[in-house]
Amino acid sequence: MGTLDGRVVIVTGAGRGVGRGHALFLASQGAKVVVNDLGGNPDGTGVDASPAQQVADEIVAAGGVAVANHDSVSSWDGAEGLVRQAVEAFGDLHAVVNNAGILRDRMLVNMSEDEWDAVVDVHLKGTFCVTRFAASYWRDQAKGGAAIDRAVVNTASTSGLFGSAGQTNYGSAKSAIATFSIIASRELSRYGVRVNCIAPTARTRLTEHIAMMAPKDDGFDPMDPANISPFIGYLATESCRITGQVFHVVGGRVNLFKPWEVVDSISKNGRWTIEELAEEADRFADVDFGDLGRSDMF
């Protein structure tokens, strides 16, 4: 018996990389999986139905249950159809893992409108579209009197949460997804829906050029994308209580982020003048946040 027996789960961008690992793992735990992937290039150009179909076939060949879906997550009609396909194929929907993503890195001064729009579209709008139609299905279920436990797991990035140069498009979309997750968790708890967010670190076609991603010759390979998936599976289980949290997951490690917090302030009983602020607020320039705990994350 698997920990996700009978749970119906949509995984977006599941034809490759981290999402493929999620789909295979969730299916191995008994989930019925809708394997979504547009199948394009790392920069989002092109379409190819085969990656999603191959993963669905792999799951079925291993004795699991899966269907493929090739729609873009950022298509309004496509996202609605994706949720409908899960319900029509398997009779219900219990969890959505929003994972699809692309990269078009460029320094801000050179970034084109298209590079900005394409990245924000897939990540932020895609996460919104699929969550929106799943949430509306779950709201109808809850209003119909069903006691439900549903889950959304979104995908951010440390590039966004810490702010990497050359990725204003990607990083802004990714930190927005973290905030989206917190807000959605507050809105959807009344319907029995938990929403969390993870930032993965793993070796995929998007990251394999980075030296730290190199595979280990022997023993545990911390950058294997399959390492991320058990935590996704846990967040999707019925008994999990976690909601509204943002995590970083790498190898055998799960790091919980603390939300934005106030660390220093100035105040007066009235409105500031610029001269007063120049006197009092100048010290904010010297606040040093160090490496924000990044060195302790791996």
Ligand X SMILES: NC(=O)c1ccc[n+]([C@@H]2O[C@H](COP(=O)([O-])OP(=O)(O)OC[C@H]3O[C@@H](n4cnc5c(N)ncnc54)[C@H](O)[C@@H]3O)[C@@H](O)[C@H]2O)c1
Cβ distance to ligand X smaller for residue 128 or 191: 128
3-class DSSP assignment, residue 106: strand
Cβ distance to ligand X smaller for residue 13 or 64: 13
72 binds ligand X (CB under 6 A): yes
**What gap in Å lies between CA 253 and CA 155, rounded to an integer?**
16
Cβ distance to ligand X smaller for residue 4 or 73: 73
As measured in angstroms, the least distance from the Cβ of 168 to ligand X is 15
Among 9, 11, 12, 134, binds ligand X (CB under 6 A): 12
Span of 23-31, 107-115, 200-208, 272-280 interacting with ligand X by CB under 6 A: 200-208
33 binds ligand X (CB under 6 A): no
What residue type is assigned to position 176 of the chain? A
17 binds ligand X (CB under 6 A): yes
Among 85, 155, 175, 245, binds ligand X (CB under 6 A): 155
19 binds ligand X (CB under 6 A): yes
Question: Counting Cβ atoms within 10 Å, is residue 123 exposed (0-12), middle (13-18) or buried (19+)?
Answer: buried
Among 10, 11, 34, 38, binds ligand X (CB under 6 A): 38
**What gap in Å lies between CA 217 and CA 91, rounded to an integer?**
44
The residue number with the shortest CB distance to ligand X is 17
Residues 83-122 that bind ligand X (CB under 6 A): 99-102, 122
207 binds ligand X (CB under 6 A): yes
Please give the structure tokens belonging to residue 289.
Answer: 């946040």
Strand order in the sheet with 32-36: 65-69, 32-36, 8-11, 95-97, 150-155, 193-201, 246-250, 253-256
Cβ distance to ligand X smaller for residue 99 or 169: 99
Length of the chain: 298
Please give the structure tokens belonging to residue 208.
Answer: 């394999």
Helices (H), 49-158: 50-61, 76-90, 113-120, 126-143, 158
CA distances, 228 to each of 17, 25, 169, 216 (Å): 11, 10, 24, 17
**Binders of ligand X: how many residues, by CB under 6 A?**
34
Catalytic (active site) residue 170: yes
> Footprint of ligand X on this chain (CB under 6 A)?
12-13, 15-19, 36-40, 42, 44, 51, 72-74, 99-102, 122, 126, 155, 157, 199-202, 204-207
